[in-house]
């Protein structure tokens, strides 16, 4: 990727894997689907069962050749998240609730302004968190030890 293309990468993604989106441009315009994969390095998303293309695969060792139908990635500008209340495509905004939690909200013309829930698929961890302390983990008594006192300045290094 050249430096011009790298400048156009989206840094703050508002579309997530598992979101219900509507395709707004292309051959599948007007159809809805669930995002299967997000390719952040190319600003593209893979929508489940949409943008199907024929792929010619040559026969090789261990696999059969032929013409296969596969899903091709769509540019992120060609899809929009579906508003959970109205069912129409909308833009995604960010708001903070009173308790300080960050949520996505629907915005734009005809949008309800309701909260767009985080997809359930993102809550499932592929590798479970370790529950048993390993050899490289810091022991709890060292973690809870108070090494700095703000009032007296005890624990500050002498510069």
Q: What is the pLDDT of residues 5-63, one digit of tens each?
A: 777 888 889 999 999 999 999 999 999 999 999 999 999 999 999 999 999 999 999 88
State the DSSP H helix or E strand holding residue 102, giving kind and residue range, or none if neither.
Answer: strand 102-107
b/e map of 46-81 (b: 16 or more CB within 10 Å)? bbeebbeeeeeeeeeeeeeeeeeeebebbebebbbb
Residue-range domains of the chain with CATH: 19-122 (2.30.30.30)
**pLDDT classification of 1: cutoffs 50, 70, 90:** low
Q: Which residues contact 138 (CB under 8 A, 6 or more apart)?
A: none
Tokens standing for 129? 């968190």
In this prediction the pTM is 0.73
**pLDDT classification of 73: cutoffs 50, 70, 90:** very high
């Amino acid at each position: 990727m050249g430096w011009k293309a790298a400048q156009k990468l989206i840094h703050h993604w508002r579309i997530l894997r598992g979101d219900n989106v509507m395709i707004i441009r292309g051959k599948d315009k007007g159809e809805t689907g669930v995002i299967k994969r997000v390719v952040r390095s190319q600003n593209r998303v893979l929508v489940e069962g949409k943008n199907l293309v024929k792929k010619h695969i040559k026969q090789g060792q261990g696999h059969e050749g032929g013409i296969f139908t596969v899903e091709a990635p769509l540019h992120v500008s060609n899809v929009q998240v579906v508003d959970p209340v109205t069912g129409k495509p909308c833009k995604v905004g960010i708001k903070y609730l009173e308790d300080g939690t960050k949520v996505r909200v629907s915005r734009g013309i005809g949008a309800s302004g309701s909260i767009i829930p985080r997809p359930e698929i993102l809550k499932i961890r592929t590798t479970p968190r370790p529950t048993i302390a390993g050899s490289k983990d810091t022991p709890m008594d060292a973690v809870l030890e108070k090494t700095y006192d703000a009032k007296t300045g005890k624990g500050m290094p002498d510069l």
